[in-house]
Amino acid sequence: MCNQFSRLQKSASPDLRRDWDQGEVLALFDLPFNDLLYQAHQVHRMHFDPNAVQISTLLSIKTGGCPEDCTYCPQSVHYDTGVDAERLLDVDDVAAAARRAREAGATRFCMGAAWRNPRGRNFERVLEMVQRVRQEGLETCATLGMLDADQARQLKEAGLDFYNHNLDTSPEFYGEVITTRTYQDRLETLEHVRDNGINVCCGGILGLGESRADRAGLLRELANLPEHPQSVPVNQLVSVEGTPLEDAPEVDALEFVRTIAVARVMMPRSWVRLSAGRTAMSDEMQALCFFAGANSIFHGEKLLTTGNPDTREDQALFERLGLHSA
Ligand code: SAM
Ligand code: DTB
Ligand code: SF4
């Protein structure tokens, strides 16, 4: 399904604009809520089954001890959050987790490592993990930090379908959030991923203390990439004690829904993932997000180090809304 959409995306299509300016994006954000949601939902229906939601499962294959200083992240060594540094998991354990995820209904398995970038024997082991997860019949996704061109090539050869690497916020606000890696570094990793034919999963995070202009700036950057990312995760900050953002004010729920809707309008054929932060969202808010164009979630009771809704709760929500797995 996804590959079909990415192939379509490569053909010239007038609704796949990549020349958004900030004023146009802000004008979408400024629409009356009903007008914005109506437009987003129409776009959504044009390209997707509106009742189908893609389900991914996430596994932290290497937790904690990360040298980067992302102020939202419990895994950074810079902050005292109680998350200990662990070693890279064994390949067999990852393959077993993938099998369980498939049995629970996931179609994609995403492996996350708290690294600045993968290196040496650890990287070799991740290549093996990708092969084994694929053999379990799942789509594969990894998020391992920065990649060079050769690493992207090797991951592709091992069978990696998606690479997650987020821009996180606008280039204007980025320096307030992370100082150890630049926006340009991130763009270069995305280029290597794209150039090697791996689907790009790239989005951001809301609730960092950013302004609406920053949220618009993030979407502008994502939609103006050389190709729209095939998958766009929109995270709501999970505030973790010990991080500089532990007391960050919550992002307004309707502003979050607006951001999903604007993402849907700007990137009509991308899968928009309602990513971290769902435990703090009501069923009603999630329902609005699905109406506004979100069509992917993480399923399973843990994200990387923080919680995710109980799987039975998600099942009940899907039943209440008449949603099914894509
Ligand atoms: N270390 C890798 C990297 O940053 O490229 C991969 C893992 S990192 C956890 C992936 C993404 O998760 C981040 O870019 C950020 O958007 C999101 N994230 C991390 N901590 C979060 C939190 N506390 N709340 C919400 N999203 C978070
Ligand atoms: C993404 O954008 N969100 C996921 C995934 N990509 C790897 C990670 C969310 C992490 C939330 C904080 C934690 O559990 O540590
Ligand atoms: Fe490290 Fe990724 Fe967390 Fe940043 S978001 S501190 S790079 S694990």
Question: pLDDT tens digits for 197-224?
Answer: 999 999 999 999 999 999 999 999 999 9
115, 179, 196 from 69: Cα distances, Å? 11, 7, 28
Q: b vs e for 79-110, b when ≥16 Cβ sit within 10 Å of the residue's Cβ?
A: bebebeeeebbebeebbebbbebbeeebbbbb
Distance CA 74, CA 244 (A): 10
Give the pLDDT confidence score for residue 13 in this predicted structure. Answer: 61
Distance CA 287, CA 143 (A): 28
- pLDDT tens sequence across 239-265: 999 999 999 999 999 999 999 999 999
Q: Can you tell me the mean pLDDT for 111-118?
A: 98
Write the CB contacts of 74 (distance below 8 Å, at least 6 apart in sequence). Answer: 81, 83, 240, 242, 243, 305, 306
Reported in sequence order, the residue ranges of 32-185 that DSSP labels E, i.e. its strands, are: 52-62, 108-113, 139-143, 162-164
Give the pLDDT confidence score for residue 2 in this predicted structure. Answer: 41
- Percent of the residues in the chain that have a pLDDT greater than 90, as a whole number: 92
Residue 233 Cα to ligand 1 midpoint, Å, equals 10
Q: How confident is the model at residue 3 (pLDDT cuts 50, 70, 90)?
A: very low
Distance CA 295, CA 199 (A): 17
Average pLDDT, the chain: 94
Distance CA 226, CA 237 (A): 27
Give the pLDDT confidence score for residue 6 in this predicted structure. Answer: 44
- pLDDT tens sequence across 25-70: 999 999 999 999 999 999 999 999 999 999 999 999 999 999 999 9
- Percent of the residues in the chain that have a pLDDT greater than 70, as a whole number: 95
Within its chain, how far is the Cα of 189 from the centroid?
15
Catalytically annotated residue among 132, 181, 220, 273: 273
Q: Residue 24 above 90 pLDDT?
A: yes
Residue nearest to atom 13 of ligand 1 (CA): 166
DSSP string, 144-196: -S---HHHHHHHHHHT--EEE---BS-HHHHTTT-SSS-HHHHHHHHHHHHHT
pTM for this entry: 0.95
Residue 2 designated active-site? no
Q: Residue 136 above 90 pLDDT?
A: yes
Q: Residue 179 above 90 pLDDT?
A: yes
Distance CA 233, CA 298 (A): 10
Residues with CB under 6 A from ligand 2: 58, 74, 112, 143, 164, 166, 203, 233, 235, 238, 275-276, 303-306
2, 52, 61, 209 from 88: Cα distances, Å? 29, 34, 6, 33
Q: How confident is the model at residue 185 (pLDDT cuts 50, 70, 90)?
A: very high
For a substitution probing ligand 1, which of 192, 205, 221, 274 has the most ligand atoms within 8 Å of its CB?
205
Q: How confident is the model at residue 105 (pLDDT cuts 50, 70, 90)?
A: confident
Environment class of 254 (CB within 10 Å of its CB; exposed 0-12, middle 13-18, buried 19+): exposed
**Is the CB of 303 within 6 Å of ligand 1?**
no
Residue 110 designated active-site? yes
Give the pLDDT confidence score for residue 106 in this predicted structure. Answer: 84
Tokens of 208: 């960092």
